[in-house]
Structure 1
Amino acid sequence: MNPSLRIVVVAPDLDVANPEDEQAIRQAERSRNLRIGLLENGFNLVATLPADVFLTERIAQLQPDLIIVDAESDARDSLEHVVMATREERRPIVMFTNDDDTGHVKDAVAAGVSAYIVAGLSPERIRPILDVALARFQHEQALLQTLASTQSERDELSAELKDRKVIDRAKGLLMQRQGLSEEDAFKKMRKTAMDKGLKLADVAQRMLDVADLLA
């Protein structure tokens, strides 16, 4: 992974309001270790943001290359905010949590999380985790682009076949009504298309539409 990648961490405030809240203390400690680990590994940590209604705007301004979600009891809510914030422009998302509720994993993967890490966070694990997450994201994006390209090719082929059928029908109409040969009928349609600055299929469709009206 390129250390110059811009990374944003979405996490709660490190300040613990209640010193007796052990869960909040553990989460703050893990979050602090995560940020220290990123810096020790030479990553470009551009910001730490709360998971709130302003997240979409802040991410749009910062344009990070990768987003890390650091959450525990509020993991689902934090993830929803991040998904909404990256809906228009997808980015690799890595989620760190101590919440062992596996019900979150399915939702996280469906939402586009590239890596879901439960506990066991240590500085030396950060780089390989982010490497895998980024590679998986890039692989998925490549697959999506391939699927989109394949679908586009299919759509183009379908449109081409449809146009060909329309042209053949119009050509047959000219041959029948004006006694033209197939070649002459095609030349006449092509000349009309050139004279009017239209596509051959559009001319053919107009001919068929007129013929239907006069039938």
Structure 2
Amino acid sequence: MENIYHPQVQSDKTALLFVESEEFERSIKDALLTASYSVLPMVVDNFVLQKLESFDPDVIILDVDRIKPSHIATLNIIQQITPKPIVFYVEYPTHDMIKAVIDSKINAYIASDRLPYHVEATLQIAFARFNEVQALRSELSEVKDKLENRKWLDRAKGLIMQQKGISENDAHKMLRKMAMDKGKKMDVVARDLVSYMEAFS
């Protein structure tokens, strides 16, 4: 079944359409083509990750009757490797299904309306939510990195102060000069210094 369907209007937008069997409902595929997406329908199986090496979609869509744990597990792995907007089209959504998706921390949008003229709007919402969540994750990652770097700087300054008997301000100046001399960031120099001094302490 792994044929890529292309829209009549040339576009670089791509969608990976996960389905339960080769006898899948065609309405989502046709709606995606109308929205100028190239579509690759694919049965969810153990070889999905290998197949993704040759197809890098803009959005991943799961069109199924019910969300299964195996679906969530597969999408969770994909999202860890290459985050994408994900849309679940579920015929019979239940509270347990929605909770399972939320608990999995997959950045997904759940819909049941398969009307062709609603599909593109649903994808736009999914992209907007995906970008918002990714921005928040990036911001959180930056904050964590800054806190981690600050810990290394504080440890390095503490060791310098202890060894040299100088103030924190002077230790900071010494670290800054070392970083400038080596052409490295202060946190990198701090990590190297702490590792070296602790190894020989």
Q: How high is the TM-score relative to the length of structure 2?
A: 0.74
Match of 1:129 in 2: 122
Question: For 2:73 and 2:196, how far apart are their aligned partners in 1?
Answer: 51
**What residue identity is the alignment partner of 2:12?**
S
**What residue identity is the alignment partner of 2:160?**
I
Is 1:156–2:142 an aligned residue pair? Answer: no
Question: For 1:166 and 1:203, how far apart are their aligned partners in 2?
Answer: 11
- How far the C-alpha of 1:73 sits from its partner, in A, is 3.5
Match of 1:42 in 2: 36
- 1:1-215 equivalent positions in 2, closer than 5 A: 4-15=12-23, 28=24, 31-45=25-39, 47-73=40-66, 75-111=68-104, 112-118=106-112, 120-172=113-165, 201=193, 205=197, 209=201
**Unmatched runs of 5 consecutive residues or more in structure 2:** 1-10, 182-188
* Number of aligned residue pairs: 172
| CA RMSD in angstroms, aligned pairs only | 3.1
8 A Cα contact 1:11 1:70, kept in partner: yes
Question: For 2:47 and 2:195, how far apart are their aligned partners in 1?
Answer: 53
**Unmatched runs of 5 consecutive residues or more in structure 1:** 16-27, 174-182, 210-215
**What residue identity is the alignment partner of 2:75?**
V
**What residue identity is the alignment partner of 2:90?**
T
Match of 2:184 in 1: none
Task: From the superposition, tell whether residues 163 and 104 of structure 1 become closer, same or farther in structure 2 (CA, over 3 Å).
Answer: same
**What residue identity is the alignment partner of 2:122?**
I
Q: Which moved more, 1:50-59 or 1:101-110?
A: 101-110
Question: For 1:96 and 1:203, how far apart are their aligned partners in 2?
Answer: 51
**What residue identity is the alignment partner of 1:117?**
A
Match of 2:8 in 1: none
Please state whether the residue corresponding to 2:81 is helix, strand or coil. coil
Question: For 1:204 and 1:93, how far apart are their aligned partners in 2?
Answer: 46
**What residue identity is the alignment partner of 2:53?**
A
Task: From the superposition, tell whether residues 154 and 74 of structure 1 become closer, same or farther in structure 2 (CA, over 3 Å).
Answer: closer
**Identity rate of aligned residues, in percent?**
16
The structure with more radius of gyration: 1
Q: How high is the TM-score relative to the length of structure 1?
A: 0.69
Question: For 1:84 and 1:202, how far apart are their aligned partners in 2?
Answer: 36
8 A Cα contact 1:94 1:115, kept in partner: yes
Question: For 1:149 and 1:42, how far apart are their aligned partners in 2?
Answer: 36
Task: From the superposition, tell whether residues 52 and 166 of structure 1 become closer, same or farther in structure 2 (CA, over 3 Å).
Answer: same
